[in-house]
Structure 1
Amino acid sequence: MPKAMQNLAFSDVRREDRDEVYFRVKGFGPDARDLPLLIVNISPHGMMSRCDAPLDIGDRIRITLPIVGVVTSEVRWSLGGRIGCQFETAIDLASYYELLAIMVRD
């Protein structure tokens, strides 16, 4: 089985469900270049987003989120212009619900 598919299967084992959103954020790739992202779903532990840049499994990216600020995350899978990321540090629930309120409102 290709490495990307193995990691895709692994990434589907999540701690909790994701909340559906459609929210654009500014990110920075592993090379520190701008990385525009469209977050499609999110949880306190990670997210899935659309991304035009080619990213590899294991790449670390930084994302600027409302309320929370800059978070570092690791790309867990990458497939067809989408990436799944796990946050280095989980977002605390109070901040997460404030963040989510902004993401679904806009």
Structure 2
Amino acid sequence: MDARATPTPPDDLDPAIEYKPRRASRLAVDEAARLSRSATYHVEVNVRNVSPCGFMAECPEAVGIGSYVMLDIPGLGRVQAQVRWQVGPRIGGMFTDPISLSRCEWTGERKDGA
């Protein structure tokens, strides 16, 4: 199957629920980052995936759904996002302005000293 094929809704999806495929594919990462809700509140998160439109991360603390946060992304700096969901330790955020993955250091080729 072509990775760029249009996604289809799951067979068991309730027909009353409108299916909306993701706007952008996500890139798997495993990177530590700082998430800030205010000038005095910061928490370390582990970002699991990122796209131009958003991210998913593991967060050890509850973050208010709908709250605005800043995520420190290497190569881009502090990026504003809105928390859209949280299930257990995982949170999903939507960037208020799409980001350029080509500038994000998480997505570039890594050079190891080996």
- Structure 2 residue corresponding to 1:89, chosen from 75, 93, 97: 97
* Counterpart-to-counterpart distance in 2, 1:50 and 1:105: 26
**Residues 34-90 of structure 1: CA deviation (Å, up to 9, x unaligned):** 111100011011000000111121011111111111001000100011000000111
Determine the structure 2 residue equivalent to 1:16: 24
CA contact (8 A) 1:30 1:59 kept: no
Change (3 A) 1:17 1:31: same
CA RMSD of aligned residues (A): 2.6
Offset at residue 31 of structure 1 (A): 7.0
Structure with the bigger percentage of helix: 1
Distance 2:42 2:62 in 1: 13
**Counterpart for residue 4 of structure 1:** none
SS at structure 2 position matched to 1:94: helix
Whole-angstrom CA distance in 2 between matches of 1:93 and 1:63: 14
Q: Is the 8 A contact 1:64 1:71 kept in 2?
A: yes
Amino acid paired to 1:59: S
Structure index of larger Rg: 2
Structure with the bigger percentage of strand? 1
Shift of 1:93: 4.6
Q: Which structure 1 segments of 5+ residues have no match? A: 1-8
- Which of 40, 58, 72 matches 1:50? 58
Paired residue total: 95
Q: Larger relative CO (CA 8 A, sep 6+): 1 or 2?
A: 1
Alignment TM-score, normalising by the size of structure 1? 0.76
Contact kept in structure 2, 1:40 and 1:48, CA below 8 Å: yes
Secondary structure of the residue aligned to 1:16 is coil
2:108 to 96, 101, 105: 101
